Amino acid sequence: MRINSTTLFLIFTVLLLTFSCKDKLTKGVTIRTEYGRQKDTLTTEEASADFNTLISALKTIHPALYKYTPEAELNGYFDSLRASIKTRISVISLYNLARLAVSRIKCSHTFIKFNSQIQTALQNDYNMLFLNFGVFYNAGHFYLNTEDTPAKFSELISINGHTVPELYADLSKYTTVDGGENCIDSFQLGEDFYYKYYLNYDLKKFAATHKYDESPAQITYKRNNHIETAIIKKRPFGFAYYSNPQNPLNLYTWDEDYDLAINDSEGYAVLTVKTFAFSKERSKAFKHYVENSFNLLSFKKNIKNLVIDIRNNAGGDIDLMDYFSSFTLGCTFKRCLSAKTKVRNFKSLPFETQVYDGANDYVDSILMQDYDSINRNEFALKQLKIPVYQQAKNSFNGKIIILTNHGTGSAATYFASLHQDRKRAVIVGEDPNGDYSGLSCFYQLSVTLPNSRLEVVIPVADVKFDLINQQPKNTRGLVPDFIVSQKLDEALKGKDTQLNFAITLTE
**How does pLDDT run across 107-121, given as a tens digit for each residue?**
889 999 988 888 777
Count, residues in the chain = 507
Q: What is the CA radius of gyration of the chain?
A: 25
224: left (phi over 0), alpha (psi -120 to 50) or beta: left
- Helices within 351-496 (DSSP H only): 360-370, 411-421, 488-491
Say if CB 110 and CB 176 are below 8 A apart: yes
For residues 154-177, give the mean pLDDT.
Answer: 87
Provide the pLDDT for residue 307: 98
The confidence band for 171, taking pLDDT boundaries of 50, 70 and 90, is confident
Which residue spans within 160-247 are E strands per DSSP?
162-163, 217-223, 226-232, 235-236
> Which DSSP category does 33 fall into?
E
Residue type, 39: K
pLDDT value for 84: 94
Q: What was the pLDDT predicted at 64?
A: 93
Each residue's pLDDT tens digit, 48-106: 999 999 999 999 999 999 988 899 999 999 999 999 999 988 888 999 999 999 999 98
Q: Domain spans of the chain?
A: 129-242, 258-348+364-442+461-504
* CA-based nearest residue to 109, from 348, 435, 419: 435
pLDDT at 1: 37
Give the model's pLDDT for residue 345. Answer: 85
CB count within 10 Å of CB 424 equals 17
pLDDT value at position 130?
85
Q: What is the pLDDT of residue 3?
A: 36
Q: Using CA of residue 455, residue 461, residue 467, residue 469, what is the dihedral sign?
A: positive
Looking at mean pLDDT, say which of 31-35, 36-40, 83-87, 140-144 comes out highest: 83-87
- Is the pLDDT at 486 greater than 80? The verdict is yes
**What are the angstrom distances between the C-alpha of 99 and each of 5, 55, 92, 120, 196?**
55, 12, 10, 19, 10
Q: Of 249, 246, 460, 443, whose CA–CA distance to 359 is shortest?
A: 443
Q: What percent of the chain has pLDDT over 90?
A: 49
pLDDT at 206 over 80: no
Which carries the bigger pLDDT value, residue 419 or residue 130? 419
pLDDT at 198: 87
In this prediction, residue 11 carries a pLDDT of 33
Which residues partner with 271 through β-bridges? Answer: 260, 308
The model's pTM: 0.85
CATH superfamily, domain 129-242, is PDZ domain (2.30.42.10)
Q: Which of 176, 170, 140 is nearest to 156 (CA)?
A: 140
C-alpha angle with apex 401: 397 to 404, nearest 5 degrees?
Answer: 140
The amino acid present at 222, given as its one-letter code, is: K
Cα 419 to Cα 469: distance, rounded to the nearest angstrom: 12
Contact 142, 172 (CB under 8 A): no
Rounded to 5 degrees, what are φ and ψ at 51?
A: -65, -40
Average pLDDT on 262-277 reads: 95
E strand or H helix at 438 = strand 438-448
State the pLDDT confidence band at 15, using cuts at 50, 70 and 90.
very low
Contact 249/136 with Cβ under 8 angstroms?
yes
Residue 422: pLDDT band by 50, 70, 90 thresholds?
very high
Amino acid code (one letter) for 128: M
Q: What is the mean pLDDT of the chain?
A: 83
The per-residue pLDDT for 6 is 38
Distance between CA 445 and CA 110 in Å, rounded? Answer: 10
For residue 5, pLDDT beyond 50 = no
pLDDT for position 254: 52
437-465 residue pLDDT tens: 888 988 899 999 999 999 999 999 999 99
SS3 letters for 344-392?
CCHHHCCCEEEECCCCHHHHHHHHHHHEEEEECCEEEECHHHCCEECCC
Mean pLDDT of all residues in 170-181: 75
At 184, the pLDDT band (50, 70, 90 cuts) reads low
- Give the pLDDT mean for 336-361: 88
CA atoms within 13 A on the CB side of 152: 10
CATH topology assigned to domain 258-348+364-442+461-504: 2-enoyl-CoA Hydratase; Chain A, domain 1 (3.90.226)
Sign of CA dihedral 282, 284, 287, 288: negative
pLDDT tens per residue across span 373-383 = 988 889 999 99
Q: How confident is the model at residue 22 (pLDDT cuts 50, 70, 90)?
A: very low
- pLDDT score recorded for residue 472: 56
Confidence of residue 18 (pLDDT cuts 50, 70, 90): very low
Rounded (10°) angle between helices 318-325 and 280-299? 10
| Contacts with 40 (C-beta within 8 Å, 6 or more apart), sequence order | 25, 27, 28, 29, 30, 31, 90, 91
Q: Are 145 and 153 in contact (CB under 8 A)?
A: yes
| Per-residue pLDDT at 220 exceeds 60 | yes
Q: Is the separation of the CB atoms in 246 and 284 below 8 Å?
A: no
Query: Residue 355's beta-bridge partner residues?
Result: 445
